[in-house]
Amino acid sequence: MCGIFGNIGRLKDSDMEVAREMLCHRGPDGQVYKTYEPNVHLFHARLSIVDIAGGTQPMDDEDLAIIFNGEIYNHLELRKQFSLSGQTHSDTETILLLYKKLGLDMLEHLEGMFAMALYDKRQGKVYLFRDRAGKKPLYFSKTNDSIYFGSEQNLLQKILRPSIRLSAMAAYLQTGMVYGEATPFEGISEVKPGHFVDIDVRRGIISEQKEWWSIVPFYEQDSIEASDEEALQELDRRLKQAVKRRIESSDLEVGCFLSGGIDSGIVTAMATEVKPGLRTFTVRFSDEYDESPIARKVANHLGTNHQELDVSYDNLLQDFENIVNAYGEPFVDDSQIPSYYVAREARKHLTVIVNGDGGDELFGGYRRYVPYANALLTSGGVKAVSKLIAPLLPAPDNKMTLYNYAYRLAKLNSLESFEQYLSASTDLLLDQATPFKVKPDEALEKKIRSIYGKNISALDKIMLADFETILPYILLKKIDISSMQNSLEGRSPFLSKDIMEFAPTLPDHMKVRGRTTKWLLRKLAAQYLPIGNEKLPKRGFETPIIEMVEKTLQPILQDYLHSSNCLYKDVLEASFVEKLLNDKVAVSKDKRAKILFGILSMEIWYRKQAEAVPA
């Protein structure tokens, strides 16, 4: 787990100073910079986890050089499989050796998370590769005389001082994310998950992004023909292998996050089979839902070395701007706050943590999947009635009520495709009379309409949409930034190649059965966890968003949103935000708080950009 930065063309000394400063938190164990003929500059900031003595980067092998952020969990297996012999035990060297043998075909064999730049001197090309799910970030930009790439937008922004794309900001406020290749900045692009670009180092030409892996074909193929028991055994085998690889491929101690949920419980149970008595951690937030008694019960059942970490929001007002600014772009998910504090506390004890991330998206863990699995979203009379009554229904005050479920169901039935997906997932301003001054970027809309046009089940459509949008552009981004702010590595067995290519092939009834979400995983949990745990509902980080916006963050909310230099005034009608601040918009308290949180995050990010630009 590291940070990378590179330049093709002319690199100023000041650019390297910026890279060293801004990637130190990703790689506190050492920073190395090399220049290669004719004009390639590679920099690596290292968090040492695998082959601590021999894994220094940039790493060279004859006419190849590489900088690499991530982990390849099966790299020792690949050495045996392809008879690769190297000078170190580093997974970085394994990549070079495998590329020498297979060329770009090596990608299909890599099991892990990665963002890397590989310089092939003979071809005169630098390749930028990103992993299948998009766990590790990678950005690039072309100027008149150089090409830059690196792990963080903040780094490229500080060097290049690009202007802001207002259409991206409108899309962010509409959908809760900046989706796709484009970023909030003019001229800075993101390598998409499962894609790569190649750069001609002599001519300074960047190729179009090329897809090397996609989950789509696995959704489009016929579901597997297997009994419940056969599917359960296959899932057990694949997940055990994924957990084993993530425990064993580290020279440092590996622990587990153990919440009260079944995903982390299953992962922890399998990890204890590899490493009995491993360390597990649960967090307790003051004045919030406390999962620690459930986690403690699981830890006692599994015999782990368990520790409960107490976390509070006492210093949130002082910490909030730094938490937001770490993302390099506006970030709407309020669970970034507990995620930051959890990572900070865990890093005091370990450097590598295994988690249960990805289980919900791949196995059907969200409550919003139930209507899709049970044909409750119809094209007949129910839809016609829903279109009539949905606009008349008052917004619910409490999202944990039966009325809220009925309200959401009516809203979903009244909408189509893109609008329906946003309503079911991430929308901020979709429900409002459009207050935009700028038309939102349409990249996400095109992606969702494409997915909803596929000949797959309704459940598979929303799960595929989540995997290709929310997972990489919100959830995995949050995990990467919150962990790397604290020099902590998170490993996710559910996002292994074997699991990602297996889960989509399961029939719908093994994902959601009746009102039971994550059905197959719950069956697996019953084999490993205390009796009854497999029936527990999903609980994520429940941040007190209303109290935060109305009380804790109120001083900076008023400061930023009443500033004379607000970005939202270029994107939205200012009168709408004023009404929102005065609670004059007909939305629930929870929705109002989320919209204001999203606008505040954008303004904090914008002021940081403005401060970075010299007068």
pLDDT, one tens digit per residue, over 140-172 is 999 999 999 999 999 999 999 999 999 999 999
Could you read off the pLDDT of 270-290 as tens digits, one per residue?
999 999 999 999 888 776 667
What average pLDDT score do residues 165-186 get? 95
**Mean pLDDT of all residues in 300-327:** 92
**Mean pLDDT within 11-22:** 88
On the question of pLDDT at 412 being above 70, the answer is: yes
Q: Does 302 have pLDDT greater than 80?
A: yes
pLDDT value of residue 408? 78
Catalogue all structural domains in the chain, each as residue range(s) with its CATH number.
Answer: 2-211 (3.60.20.10), 216-310+331-363+469-535 (3.40.50.620), 544-615 (no CATH)
Helices (H), 132-261: 153-160, 166-175, 216-220, 228-248
pLDDT digits (tens, 9 = 90+) for 308-320: 988 888 899 999 9
Determine whether 507 is exposed, middle or buried from the number of CB atoms within 10 Å of its CB (0-12, 13-18, 19+): middle
Which residues on neighbouring strands pair with residue 516, listed in sequence order? Answer: 513
Q: Is 91 annotated as a binding residue?
A: yes
By percentage, how much of the chain surpasses pLDDT 90? 70
Tokens of 245: 């690889």
Average pLDDT of the chain, as a whole number: 91
**pLDDT tens for each residue of 219-255:** 999 999 999 999 999 999 999 999 999 999 888 889 9
Q: Which residues contact 123 (CB under 8 A, 6 or more apart)?
A: none
All residues at 6 or more sequence positions from 594 whose CB lies less than 8 Å from its CB, including other chains: 332, 334, 428, 545
User: Crossing angle of helices 402-413/381-389, nearest 10°?
Assistant: 110
Is 243 annotated in some ligand binding site?
Answer: no
Catalytic residue chosen out of the listed positions 2, 24, 256, 566: 2
Active site residue 24: no
Average pLDDT over every residue of 378-386: 69
Contact between 92 and 68 under an 8 Å Cβ cutoff? The reply is yes
